[in-house]
Amino acid sequence: MTVIILANCPAGLRGFLTRWLLEISPGVFLGSPSTRVRDILWEEVRQYAGKGRALLVHPADNEQGFTFATHDHAWQPKEHEGLTLIHRPAPKTHHEEPRTAPPPQRGWSKASKRRRFGS
């Protein structure tokens, strides 16, 4: 079983994939093409994805029983002790200088006005 997931890809690419795979949800394609056809489809996806992202999952002869490939994803597959895991990059933190609020103006509150004017 082969799964291809597309995000932000051209509609023409989705139409192209429906020739060999079943679109079970928008951007999610499922089927059992031969290895040769699967590799050709993946090359087409990588070529025509544009600014979109793509993910391919297919069976493999390993401990997990499957393998996957990504195209323009921030999350990348990494090999770790014979298993393929997903490496998620740490969120970017902005080291901003602590903002100091300007001190409040004197005499702006009702209590300050009462004290000042004796009311």
The pTM for the full model equals 0.71
| Whether pLDDT at 19 is above 90 | yes
Q: pLDDT (tens digit, 9 = 90+) per residue, 60-100?
A: 998 899 998 999 888 888 888 888 888 888 877 666 566 67
Cα dihedral value 4, 40, 74, 76, nearest 10: 90
Identify the structural domains of the chain with CATH numbers, from first to last. 15-72 (3.30.70.240)
| Whether pLDDT at 35 is above 90 | yes
What radius of gyration, in Å, describes the C-alpha atoms of the chain? 27
